[in-house]
Amino acid sequence: LEEVLALPGGNEIVTDQVLYNLKRRGIEWDLLPFCRAQHLPVMAYSPIEHSGRTQKRMLDDPTLQSIASRHDATPAQIALAWLIQQEVVVIPKASTSEHVRENHEALRLVLSEAELSELDQAFPPPARKIPLEVK
């Protein structure tokens, strides 16, 4: 990204869209801080995981379900709210109007510091630099 930004026209880049969700947090090590320093928004794709099997595993996590229960929300809404609180752009898939409404409800959720800490324990941030994950 540094190299691309340094190229002629690099300053025309308006966002960096990367795989980012509770399970895939590798960008927090260096890419996310770099983008923030450059005032370059990050857009999370696959915000609640990208395949049915891995999405189910993430959404079935007991911590995520417990926090969702406390907020009268779904685990997917909590996962979206977490991303929103990371100050990234989140555009989740929505195939029905009900799905759009469910996703929209994530905007009203504010996770406490204790809940953010719980999510960090359940879905640990990276402890070292890891290669950028892609779908």
SS3 label, residue 95: coil
d(CA 17, CA 13): 11
pLDDT tens, residue order, the chain (135 aa): 899 999 999 999 999 999 999 999 999 999 999 999 999 999 999 999 877 767 778 999 999 999 999 999 999 999 999 999 999 999 898 889 999 999 999 999 999 999 999 999 999 999 999 988 887
d(CA 17, CA 31): 11
